[in-house]
A and B are shown apart, each in its own frame.
Chain A
Amino acid sequence: MFYRENGQFKTSYRKDQQIFAIAQDRWAILALIAFAFIGVPFIADEYMFRAILIPFLILSLAALGVNILVGYCGQISLGSGAFMAVGAYMAYNTYIRIEGMPLIVALLAGGFFATLVGVFFGIPSLRVKGLYLAVATLAAQFFCDWAFLRVGWFTNNNASGSVSVSNLNVFGLPIDTPLQKYIFCLVFLVVFGLLAKNLVRSAIGREWMAIRDMDVAAAVIGIRPVYAKLTAFAVSSFIVGVAGGLWGFVHLGSWEPAAFSIDRSFQLLFMVIIGGMGSIMGSFFGAAFIVILPIFLNQFLPWAGGMVGVNISTAAVSHTEFMIFGALIVWFLIVEPHGLAKLWSVAKQKLRLWPFPH
């Protein structure tokens, strides 16, 4: 009744092709963005910002990048942690070594170098497919793990191999308090989200999806696999690299290669699969699930145990967290194999018909 396109007539091609064609969608997204920028700062406290919102924003940006590669182009990649690391370390080097480098330029430079590395490690995708490719991209992950530990140049020849940044500022505004960090990451996310949404609806996006669905047929009708696959790697690595830079600079402040280990790669892949492959919204859902659920369980389990009168040790909480997490993943996959985004679009479909059942 409330959510439908009835009465919304498009009078130009431009209006017909816009991202949120239904007016309700547009208002909802604008309201959400407004709430994120203006409303959340009022209700969230420091812990929410530092431990939940900022990691959520940065990881959804990274999941967005991974979704472009895995969900839209169908190339399973387990090297995302490495690309985040490249983004972080190259942003660090650009920031430290060039006097007066603006922060945003440094982060984008990190993304650029991540693109180069991503394209290089994407070359095997031209020959190798599917699970073989997934394992082959692990070569990128382990190589980068090793390179950042061994090659002193990346860490400014720091004896311990750990790097840190401080005194971040953008056009003179400091990025110091949790609120400023939150707004900074949110701006990046909104800009990149918009870019990604439009990119996947464009010609190159359609080429990616064609390659994903039937790559031989796509090649037959004239889509160049080399161009499509490598651009997917390039765009994905750029976004993941920028996310890596944000993770190191804004969230951690000081990091070592282990912060971008293979666990991070798996985490990003989970977010994409749980959230919904081939869906921009899915990246956000998946990131929310993976970031918030462990923290929620960590708080909830001792509280629940307290209600029942059982004192659960931290180790037991940690183990139960794992078990519930695993069980929930399996449950979600049984209930909706296409991820949370599919649940969301089913909801929208139902809303269009509401209050009628069909």
Chain B
Amino acid sequence: MKLRQLVLATTVAAAGLASALVSTVATAQTKEQFFPVLVYRTGAYAPNGVPFANGYVDYLKLVNARGGINGVKVSFEECETGYATDRGVECYERLKGKNGGATVFQPLSTGITFALTEKAPGDKIPLITAGYGRSESADGGVFKWNFPLAGTYWVAGDVIIQDIGKKAGGVDKLKGKHIALVYHDSPFGKEAIPILQERAAMHGFKLSLLPVTHPGVEQKSTWLQIRRDRPDYVVNWGWGVMNSTLLKEAQATGYPRENIWGVWWAGAEPDVKDIGMGAKGYNAITMQHGAEKGSAVVKEVLEKLHAKNQGTGPKDEVGEVLYMRGLFSAMFAIEGVRQAQEKYGKGKVMTGEQARWGFENLNLTQPKLDALGFKGVLRPISTSCADHMGANWARIHTWDGAKWQFSSDWMQADEQIIKPMVKAAADKYAAEKKITRRTPADCQS
């Protein structure tokens, strides 16, 4: 009896080892541009990760439906990270060499971004971290392989303060006021602190920092403190369940939701739809786009994919905030490859290095964006060697109880404040890692 179990156990172990070895056999070279898709469809952050993943994959399918990138079809593979850094690293290692080589990675997690920033340059694969990751990676002179396209956290923080100032009647009216930052206690949440401290010093408002431990479901003491200190405004820098908990606690303590501003990862449907009217008045910054159910690209997705039952995810999710973010994150990846094809050969499959050049020389003009279906959704984005962010526009939208409505015009972050901060942080990183800044010659390549 024991022997039988022993034999069974050994065969299972041997099979496991064998398949782990076998699975690494290289697949045949295909003439397709391969995009690995790092997602989290499970775990504490799944409600927000799922629409993003659906949007990303839908756009890749749409590109194939449109005929590919100058004829080159797109292939992709999802890999579940569960927002955990080591799983993200394992997904990266597994997918980076597959199907001819990964074109670009988009980790959708600040923790995984930090880990991959170390590995990607060695493997010559670029990272797009649209709206997250290290704010200082906008400095392409130090961070050759990172692309925080369309916005970083310092842009978000800056514009939030600008909007708070507007609602207060002018940024000078903020003097003497009290703003509380309720942030996710992790590198993601802490990114907000430098820019808010900078603005606090500039305008003379008091900034108090209230960390919330992951995953953020326990905020009673945070809101007790807010009850006591009665800050004039609250900035929410959360992700996942922390956001809906925050709004529920705000409702439970009677704090006016009109005085709460959230970062662009805290302003989407999963955060507010269960609370409904209880979250009415909650403001959140958007990374240019909001919920865009009326946009041309959404119509195209519904027509070409969902009508033929090829959509990823439910139909009514198409056009929601996080879905759109996934959509245009994929769009950046595709357009970067298209731009690379201009230099390295139209209709050819691009390597990671070539795609990197494409991301560094992205020039998405308004006509181009309109043609892709993003009219009214996105503003022009153009990157360069020094600037890997490409655009710093944002808007604020407010939840009216049933949907998100834009409540501000297009605003720009103040580069006078942010640029020196980015350069200082990038220089500190370069000194620590003993990297030298890129030469102009290197910028041309």
**Residues on A facing B (Cβ under 8 Å):** 43, 45-48, 50-52, 55, 96, 145-146, 149-150, 156, 159-162, 164, 166-167, 176, 251-259, 263, 288, 292-293, 295-296, 298-300, 313-315, 317-319, 335-336, 340, 343, 346-347, 350
Segment among B190-198, B246-254, B407-415 that sits at the interface with chain A = B190-198
From B80, B117, B119, residue with most partner A Cβ within 10 Å: B80
Q: Does B326 interact with chain A (Cβ within 8 Å)?
A: no
Q: Complex: how many Å from CA A149 to CA B184?
A: 11
Please, which residue of chain B has its CB at the minimum distance from the CB of A252? B115
Q: Which residues in A have their C-beta under 8 angstroms from that of B93?
A: 46-47, 50-51
Q: Does B167 interact with chain A (Cβ within 8 Å)?
A: no
The answer to whether A256 touches B187 (Cβ under 8 A) is yes
| A25 vs chain B, min Cβ distance (A) | 18
User: Which 6 pairs from chain A and chain B are nearest by CB?
Assistant: A315-B41, A253-B118, A160-B187, A51-B93, A314-B80, A314-B78
Q: Which residues in B have their C-beta under 8 angstroms from that of A254?
A: 114-115, 117-118
The answer to whether B19 touches A166 (Cβ under 8 A) is no
Q: Which residues in A have their C-beta under 8 angstroms from that of B78?
A: 313-314
Q: Which residues in A have their C-beta under 8 angstroms from that of B84?
A: 263
The answer to whether B118 touches A166 (Cβ under 8 A) is yes
Interface of A, helix, strand, loop or mixed by DSSP = helix
Q: Complex: how many Å from CA A255 to CA B119?
A: 12
Q: Which residues in B have their C-beta under 8 angstroms from that of A47?
A: 24, 93-94, 97
Q: Complex: how many Å from CA A105 to CA B93?
A: 29
The answer to whether A299 touches B19 (Cβ under 8 A) is yes
The answer to whether B80 touches A347 (Cβ under 8 A) is no
| B425 vs chain A, min Cβ distance (A) | 7
| A264 vs chain B, min Cβ distance (A) | 9
Please pick, from B13, B46, B434, the residue contacting A167 in the complex, using a CB distance under 8 A.
Answer: B434
**Residues on B facing A (Cβ under 8 Å):** 2-3, 5-6, 9, 13, 16-17, 19-21, 23-24, 39, 41-42, 46, 50, 78-80, 82, 84-86, 89-90, 93-94, 97, 110-111, 114-115, 117-119, 122, 134, 185-187, 190-191, 193-194, 211, 213-214, 425, 432-434
The answer to whether A159 touches B2 (Cβ under 8 A) is no
The answer to whether B190 touches A350 (Cβ under 8 A) is no
The answer to whether A317 touches B80 (Cβ under 8 A) is yes
Could you name 17 residue pairs across A and B whose Cβ atoms are closer than 8 Å?
A46-B97, A47-B93, A48-B24, A149-B211, A161-B186, A252-B89, A252-B118, A255-B85, A258-B111, A295-B20, A314-B78, A315-B50, A318-B80, A336-B5, A343-B5, A346-B2, A346-B6
Q: Complex: how many Å from CA A335 to CA B213?
A: 40
The answer to whether A48 touches B20 (Cβ under 8 A) is yes
The answer to whether A299 touches B20 (Cβ under 8 A) is yes
The answer to whether B114 touches A164 (Cβ under 8 A) is yes
The answer to whether A161 touches B190 (Cβ under 8 A) is yes
| A180 vs chain B, min Cβ distance (A) | 13
The answer to whether A96 touches B432 (Cβ under 8 A) is yes
Known: A47-B93, A166-B433, A318-B42. A253 touches B115 (CB 8 A): yes
From B86, B194, B214, residue with most partner A Cβ within 10 Å: B86
The answer to whether A256 touches B90 (Cβ under 8 A) is no
Known: A47-B94, A167-B434. A259 touches B41 (CB 8 A): no
| A341 vs chain B, min Cβ distance (A) | 12
Q: Complex: how many Å from CA A146 to CA B185?
A: 9
Q: Which residues in A have their C-beta under 8 angstroms from that of B86?
A: 55, 251-252, 259
| B23 vs chain A, min Cβ distance (A) | 4
| A227 vs chain B, min Cβ distance (A) | 37
The answer to whether A149 touches B9 (Cβ under 8 A) is no
Known: A160-B190, A295-B90. A255 touches B185 (CB 8 A): no
Q: Complex: how many Å from CA A164 to CA B46?
A: 27
The answer to whether B82 touches A318 (Cβ under 8 A) is yes
Q: Complex: how many Å from CA A259 to CA B112?
A: 10
| A101 vs chain B, min Cβ distance (A) | 14
Q: Which residues in A have their C-beta under 8 angstroms from that of B110?
A: 160, 162
Q: Which residues in A have their C-beta under 8 angstroms from that of B23?
A: 299
Q: Complex: how many Å from CA A118 to CA B329?
A: 45
Q: Which residues in A have their C-beta under 8 angstroms from that of B433?
A: 164, 166-167
Q: Complex: how many Å from CA A96 to CA B6?
A: 49
Q: Which residues in B have their C-beta under 8 angstroms from that of A255?
A: 85, 114-115
Q: Complex: how many Å from CA A167 to CA B119?
A: 12
| A347 vs chain B, min Cβ distance (A) | 6
